[in-house]
Amino acid sequence: MSEEEREKTVTIRGVDKELYNRALALAKELGKSAGEMVNEALKLLLSTATTAATAISKAAELVEGVKEAAIPVHVVSGVEELTVRRADLESLEKPVVFKGIKRLVFEDDVDYEVFDSKVRHLIMCGEVQVPKSYPKLKVAEKCKLVGKLSEKP
């Protein structure tokens, strides 16, 4: 943007006259022009709005994390290699989190609906193999720090 474009006269309708007069008085006190004062006010407004939007987004993520953490789950870890059958998942009364397993394989008898309802997360697993019928992106949503997500051969 050229200097001429930056210095262009801008008319803004609907500005509160009292606020404008107070801003003018403050500008005179500080030895600034009305334009400089409005520019600083707009910069502050935009900066504050951006910061607030980021904070709200982070707070929403935190609330979701707390909600999710409050739901009781089974945690399966400490196993290097594990093959999971449908009956294994159906025997659990709560969802399960698989954590730190080097190679995790879901048998073909585990249909996606059972997988989706019973498996909460797959965390820090080296390789996870799922049946070819699974929607891979839906499975990937449950993965956190998984080395390789692949279809069973």
pLDDT at 26: 87
User: For the chain, what percent of residues have pLDDT higher than 70?
Assistant: 92
pLDDT-derived band at 88, boundaries 50, 70, 90: very high
Alpha carbon distance 91, 4 (integer Å)? 73
pTM: 0.56
Is the pLDDT assigned to residue 46 strictly greater than 90?
no
Mean pLDDT of 52-80: 79
Is the pLDDT assigned to residue 20 strictly greater than 80?
yes
Mean pLDDT of 32-38: 86
Alpha carbon distance 143, 140 (integer Å)? 5
Alpha carbon distance 121, 71 (integer Å)? 13
pLDDT-derived band at 65, boundaries 50, 70, 90: low
pLDDT at 53: 84
pLDDT top residue among 126 and 63:
126
pLDDT at 70: 65
